[in-house]
Amino acid sequence: MRRDIVHIGAGQLRYEIREIVQTAHELNKLGRVIIWENIGDPVQKGEPMAGWIKDIISSLVSKDFSYAYTASAGDPETRAFLAKGVNARGGAQIGPDDILFFNGLGDAVSTLFTHLRREARILGPSPAYSTLSSAEASHSGYEHLTYRLDPEKQWQPDIDDIRMKVKYNDSVAGILLINPDNPTGAVYPRSTLEEIVKIAREHDLFVLCDETYSNIVYPGIKTASLSEVIGDTPGIALRSISKEFPWPGARCGWMEVFNQDKDDVFRRYITSLLDAKRLEVCSTTLPQMAIPLVFSDSRYPGHIKRRAKMFSDRADEAVSILSDIPGITVIKPSGAFYLTVVFNTELPSSGPIPAIDNPAIAGRVSEIVADVAPDKRFVYWLLGATGICTVPLSGFCTKLPGFRATLLENNNKKRRQTYNTLAVAIRTYLN
Ligand SMILES: Cc1ncc(COP(=O)(O)O)c(C=O)c1O
């Protein structure tokens, strides 16, 4: 080409969660039945959509206005409804104009980073959720800038690490956190959130808090939403119906913006996000219309409570099956629906892998693992040997070797069987 047309951040666009899928299909063709433990889609894993939510959506399908464009920022009534809800929590107050809808948070994240000035960096957690870390890395053209989540402390953020990185790197313009976290399942107490906001305030930064899983906090665990702790610091909370209705296929998420009136630069940045959305016209209408109807339904609080308890029980089940295996650390999540296992022993980075019963699969897996990170070797071997498709932790911007599975399989027998098979496989691999 006359000109290099490849973006400077192109090499940073990695989504390990889906990259393994291609290999899984390949091994499936060679005879391995795949157990999908890589993607956070409750519906794909058999969770039935609640009948009453389906009824609400059906009622919208028969209304003509569901087929129209809506406002660029999102349906006005839905935004007014959501703003009231945020204000009811106490803390920072917002209006409908502080809410901006996207086609899922994937779209929100991409828009956020595309329109952020190139030199402005966002400091995010490690392990990181790939959509956010890749977007930040791609936007800046450098590796994602991270702070440590400490596995020795239930994956809580290392506040000193945040403080030092903010202090000594003046390109940092914002601090990102995910609460509850993907992939670790950590939930942050209010005091931790306040500490992070305090650092942001002291250094004139904004806080970006991904609250995708805010309604999947396990019984007995306490946290706060960004609105409750942000005070007068600029902040953005990201919300979605993907995991919570759950309706990931709706591609519907939104941004709640705090204190755009308090900082001129922050307000101009937020305006640029709305301007970008205007160029796309709007996000999908129908799922937005469903939000007030579902959230205000008397069955919703019970629905959320039941699901949080269900994932908490499944976390207990997985931890009880895996926790006494030597060589790994399993920390019980406090929210969301993932299970992260860390190897606390050195994994081989070369040499033969344990036997796989199907020679064609064994051959293909040996080729793949010839030159990959040690935890990726384990994950691809696990896929070949058992069909269990997980994601290597090294795909989440961390040097800690491990993998992420989910708590999503809705068939109790199948789920237990998967964790039992996983336990045997880990022992075999580490022996
Ligand atoms: C932390 C986090 N943020 C954002 C997303 C993207 O969600 P959406 O379906 O709204 O694009 C996910 C999806 O897994 C997630 O785990």
Instruction: Give DSSP secondary structure letters for 242-293.
Output: TTTS--GGG--EEEEEE-GGG-HHHHHHHHHHHHHHHHT----HHHHHHHHH
For ligand 1, is residue 246 a contact (CB within 6 Å)? Answer: no
For ligand 1, is residue 284 a contact (CB within 6 Å)? Answer: no
Q: Which of 182, 188, 256, 284 to mutate to test the pocket of ligand 1 (most atoms within 8 A of CB)?
A: 182
For ligand 1, is residue 105 a contact (CB within 6 Å)? Answer: yes
Side chain identity, residue 299? R
Band of pLDDT at residue 301, cut at 50, 70 and 90: very high
237-293 pLDDT, tens per residue? 999 999 999 999 999 999 999 999 999 999 999 999 999 999 899 999 999 999 999
Stretch 373-397: mean pLDDT: 95
pLDDT at 9: 65
Residue located nearest, by CA, to atom 1 of ligand 1: 182
pLDDT at 290: 98
Stretch 150-166: mean pLDDT: 97
For ligand 1, is residue 242 a contact (CB within 6 Å)? Answer: yes
pLDDT at 421 over 90: yes
Q: Residue 107 and residue 74: Cα distance in Å, rounded?
A: 14
Going through 79-165 in order, the beta strands assigned E by DSSP cover: 99-102, 121-126, 146-150, 156-157
Stretch 61-89: mean pLDDT: 96
pLDDT at 18: 67
pLDDT at 10: 67
Report which of 307, 288, 314 is spatially closest to residue 67, judged by C-alpha positions.
288
pLDDT at 44: 95
Find all residues with CB under 8 Å of 397, minimum gap 6, and list them: 124, 126, 127, 128, 130, 133, 144, 146
Q: Residue 125 and residue 327: Cα distance in Å, rounded?
A: 24
Task: For residue 106, report the distance from its CA to the centre of ligand 1, in Å.
Answer: 6
Instruction: For the beta carbon of residue 61, count every other beta carbon within 10 angstroms.
Output: 9
Q: Report whether 393 contacts 127 (CB < 8 A).
A: yes
Residues 10-47+301-430: name the CATH superfamily: Aspartate Aminotransferase, domain 1 (3.90.1150.10)
Q: Report whether 316 contacts 333 (CB < 8 A).
A: no
pLDDT at 360: 96
Lowest-pLDDT choice from 178-192, 271-285, 306-320: 271-285
Q: Which of 155, 243, 291, 407 to mutate to test the pocket of ligand 1 (most atoms within 8 A of CB)?
A: 243
pLDDT at 20 over 90: no
pLDDT at 61 over 80: yes
- May I ask the CATH class of domain 51-295? alpha beta
Phi first, then psi: give them for residue 266, nearest 5 degrees.
-60, -40
**CATH 3.90.1150.10 occupies which residues in the chain?**
10-47+301-430
pLDDT at 6: 75
Please state whether the predicted TM-score (pTM) of the whole model is above 0.85.
Answer: yes
pLDDT at 352: 86
4-16 pLDDT, tens per residue? 777 766 666 566 6
Task: For residue 375, report the distance from its CA to the centre of ligand 1, in Å.
Answer: 24
* CA dihedral of residues 130, 135, 138, 139 (deg, nearest 10): -160
Stretch 375-395: mean pLDDT: 95
pLDDT at 141: 87
SS3 68: coil
Q: Report whether 188 contacts 210 (CB < 8 A).
A: no
Report which of 378, 413, 391, 427 is spatially closest to residue 184, judged by C-alpha positions.
391
SS3 337: coil
pLDDT at 116 over 90: yes
pLDDT at 216: 98
188-232 pLDDT, tens per residue? 999 999 999 999 999 999 999 999 999 999 999 999 999 999 999
**CATH 3.40.640.10 occupies which residues in the chain?**
51-295
The atom of ligand 1 lying closest to the CA of 181 is: 1
Q: Is the dihedral of CA 115, 120, 125, 127 positive or negative?
A: positive
For ligand 1, is residue 333 a contact (CB within 6 Å)? Answer: no
Q: Residue 206 and residue 190: Cα distance in Å, rounded?
A: 18
SS3 87: helix
CA distances from 378 to 237, 370, 375, 389 (A): 36, 12, 5, 11
pLDDT at 350: 86
Stretch 175-187: mean pLDDT: 98
Q: What is the largest CA-CA distance in the chain?
A: 64
Stretch 397-422: mean pLDDT: 97
pLDDT at 79 over 90: yes
pLDDT at 4: 79
